[in-house]
Amino acid sequence: MVRKKKKARKKKVVKKKVRPEDTVHIKLNSPIESRRAILAEAVNVVDLLKRHEKIKVLRKEKTKALNDFRTALHELNKVLRLVRLSEMPLKMDELKKVRDVEKHPVFEEVKPVVTKKKVVKKVVKTYTDPLDAQMAELKRKLAKL
């Protein structure tokens, strides 16, 4: 006698629907104090988020400045390789010992170039940061209590 193989049946998975509008109600002995504490902590969290965002911006600026510095240093090294003192006919010690001919200096001292600094105006933000708006709203609610 040949046995027939049983077909495996798939089990039905019943998913429970979760509604976001479901609310949970609990009774608190001192609801105003609890609410005030929660709002104060929410203000602290928003403040921490703002500081974190500032740190992220500073890190990006730091890496950009470091990359700019590295490229400038790389270009400077290229120029230094092109103009080496060892390839000059006289070394620096020998240049200092050479006397002036007809009261003309052999080489003149390099004077530093003075550049005018640009005046940077601070840009006023016209939009409000969402974190600032949340912080103001939480502080307003906290003041009401």
**70-96 pLDDT per residue, tens:** 999 999 888 877 776 556 666 667 666
**3-class SS of residue 129:** coil
Work out the number of other CB atoms within 10 angstroms of the CB of residue 135.
18
Name every residue whose Cβ is closer than 8 Å to that of residue 92 and which is 6 or more positions away in sequence. Answer: 85
Reported as a pLDDT band with limits 50, 70 and 90, residue 49 is: very high
Q: How large a percentage of the chain has pLDDT more than 70?
A: 70
Question: Beta partners for 104?
Answer: 101
Q: Which pLDDT value is given to residue 73?
A: 94
Cα separation of 135 and 141, whole Å? 10
Reported as a pLDDT band with limits 50, 70 and 90, residue 2 is: low
Cα separation of 105 and 98, whole Å? 9
Reported as a pLDDT band with limits 50, 70 and 90, residue 23 is: confident
Cα separation of 7 and 88, whole Å? 92
- Tell me: pLDDT of 125 over 90: no
**3-class SS of residue 5:** coil
**3-class SS of residue 104:** strand
